[in-house]
């Protein structure tokens, strides 16, 4: 599906709040997980702080700064690292000015104090939604690509930008739809 364009103005639906399942479980078993509640409060405060810092910055309509892992699970602690990436809704070159600007913006606000993403280049880099959607299975589907795709679906949240929900939907649709050549 090369050449697919992401419609940044679409009204793609978002995933429901996963915290409801934890609340229901706690009520059912009669046990409270205070450490998870504290982590959720800490995550909410940190997301609010980071989002406020980025609120005046402009990014291209086909980009999002996306957080993964503990940030998305509402389990952020003082020891958590900043797993983030620039999600790009089109193919791009290494020196694409929009992507370079978004990278600089993300690096300015994420990864300080030893919280940089790992060295595997899974996070802390830009990647295109086309690669996640088009390269499912066989040789073109690298471990890095599979990891990004699964974490986009299971553990991601948009910090700044507009295309996260639509990209999430494109990946899910690719799994659930019959692919016809």
pLDDT recorded at residue 140: 87
Distance CA 161, CA 62 (A): 8
CATH class of 19-176: alpha beta
The stretches of 30-176 forming alpha helices (DSSP H) are 34-54, 70-73, 97-109, 129-134, 143-154, 164-176
Phi, psi for 95 (deg, rounded to 5): -115, 30
Q: What is the mean pLDDT of residues 69-76?
A: 93
Highest mean pLDDT among 18-27, 65-74, 113-122: 65-74
| CA 66/CA 87 separation, integer angstroms | 7
For position 15, what pLDDT does the model report?
A: 41
Domain chopping of the chain, boundaries: 19-176
Query: What is the sign of the dihedral through the CA atoms of 161, 96, 142 and 10?
Result: positive
Residue bearing tokens 């910055």: 57
Query: What's residue 55's pLDDT?
Result: 92
The 10s digit of each residue's pLDDT in 107-157 is: 999 988 788 887 788 899 999 999 999 998 888 899 999 999 999 999 999
- How much of the chain, in percent, has pLDDT values that exceed 70? 87
Of the listed ranges 4-18, 58-72, 139-153, the least confidently predicted one is 4-18
Question: With 90 as the cut, is the pLDDT of residue 22 above it?
Answer: no
Q: What is the mean pLDDT of residues 2-16?
A: 47
Is the pLDDT at 89 greater than 70? The verdict is yes
Report residue 14's pLDDT band, with 50, 70 and 90 as the boundaries.
very low
What mean pLDDT is reported for the chain? 87
Task: Tell me what the mean pLDDT of segment 153-176 comes to.
Answer: 94
HEC states along 47-80? Answer: HHHHHHHHCCCCCCCCEEEEEECHHHHCCCCCCC
155 vs 19: which has the higher pLDDT = 155
For residue 123, what are the contacts with CB-CB under 8 A and spacing of at least 6?
A: 68, 83, 84, 85, 117
- What's the rounded mean pLDDT across residues 22-48? 90
- Per-residue pLDDT, 11: 43
């Amino acid at each position: 599906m090369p050449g697919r364009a992401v419609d940044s103005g679409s009204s793609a639906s978002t995933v429901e709040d996963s915290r409801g399942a934890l609340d229901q479980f706690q009520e059912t078993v009669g046990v409270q997980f205070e450490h998870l509640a504290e982590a959720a409060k800490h995550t909410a405060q940190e997301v609010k702080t980071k989002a406020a810092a980025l609120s005046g910055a402009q990014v291209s309509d086909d980009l999002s700064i996306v957080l993964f892992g503990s940030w998305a699970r509402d389990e952020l602690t003082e020891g958590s690292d900043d797993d983030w990436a620039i999600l790009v809704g089109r193919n791009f070159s290494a020196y694409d000015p929009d992507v370079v600007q978004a990278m600089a913006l993300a690096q300015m606000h994420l990864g300080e104090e030893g919280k940089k993403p790992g060295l595997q280049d899974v996070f802390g880099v830009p990647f295109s939604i086309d690669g996640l959607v088009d390269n499912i299975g066989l040789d073109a589907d690298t471990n890095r690509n599979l990891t990004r795709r699964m974490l986009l679906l299971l553990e991601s949240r948009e910090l700044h930008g507009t295309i996260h929900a639509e990209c999430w939907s494109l990946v899910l649709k690719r799994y659930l739809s019959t692919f016809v050549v």
